[in-house]
Amino acid sequence: MEFCFRAPKDEECALAAKLERVCLDTCWSEQSIRNLGENALYICCFSDSSLCGIGSVYFVLDEAQIMNVAVLPDYRGKGVGFGIMSEIIKNAAQRGCKTITLEVAENNTPALKLYEKCGMDRVGIRKGFYGDFAAIIMEKKI
């Protein structure tokens, strides 16, 4: 299975918002995705012409803050998440970022494994960040 990673075309923002609604508890609207601005990056992963995953990141000075990574259930475990993370890391390095951070729910074992595979380290905890669950703060120096 081959994947293509790129920013969404204008007409694909609705598909990206729909994917987020399927995969995430807190999602961005089509309008938010369309109007992210120059200090943000939204990446879509396509298999043939089907959208199968997304990733979003904000850039502030020399830091990148990953906001969302989501993969449709049928594509999980097939390298989509790793590919999205690789694109985010590559873009952060190209923009001169020195650090990438994110928060992930402590009970989201697949995501924790993915982020650790991508070189992210656990650096802190935010208790109650996700209701009954703490957020694990992760960071990667680049």
Q: Which residues are catalytic?
A: 103, 115
Residue 119's φ and ψ, nearest 5 degrees, are 90, 10
Q: Kindly state the helix (H) or strand (E) to which residue 33 belongs, with its residue range.
A: helix 30-34
DSSP tally for the chain: helices H, then strands E: 4, 7
How do the residues of the chain divide into helix, strand and coil, expressed in percent and rounded to 5?
30, 40, 25
Q: Which residue has the tokens 């995953």?
A: 53
